[in-house]
Amino acid sequence: MPVKTKRVAAATVEPVPQNFHFDKRAHLIAAAAAEADGDVLLTTAQMAVWFGLTEQWFEKARRGGYGPPYVRVGSQTIRYSRAKTRVWLESRASKSTAEYRGKGAA
C-alpha cells in the first residue's frame, strides 16, 4: 500500500490552529492549578449544583457580565474559583430589602 505524502511549498505558512494541544488537557491544568494554591476550581455544572441554578444561567451570566468571576482555561473550558466566588457572593449580601431595590423604587 503506497504511503500518502503531503507536498508543502517552501514559502507556505501553516495556518494557526483554532484548538491548541493544551485545550485537550485543560481540565488537568485547571485541577493542577487548584491543588497548587489550595483553591478549588469548579466546572459550570458544579457551580449549578452549588447555587441551585441551571448551567444555562451561568452561561448567560458570563455573556451578560453579571455572574461570578471565572477563568477561561482553554477554548471551551471554563472554571470558577471557589474562593473568588465566595468573595463575589459576600459583595452581593444585603442587610435589608431597601438595599437592593431599584433606583426608581421608594
> Each residue of 53-92: pLDDT tens digit?
999 999 999 999 988 999 998 888 999 998 898 888 888 7
pLDDT (mean) for 8-31: 55
Is residue 27 scored above 70 in pLDDT?
no
Q: Tell me, letter by letter, the H, E, C secondary structure of the chain.
A: CCCCCCCCCCCCCCCCCCCCHHHHHHHHHHHHHHHHHCCCEECHHHHHHHHCCCHHHHHHHHHHCCCCCCEEEECCEEEEEHHHHHHHHHHCCCCCHHHHCCCCCC
Domain boundaries, the chain: 27-88
The answer on pLDDT for 23 being more than 90 is no
The model's pTM: 0.58
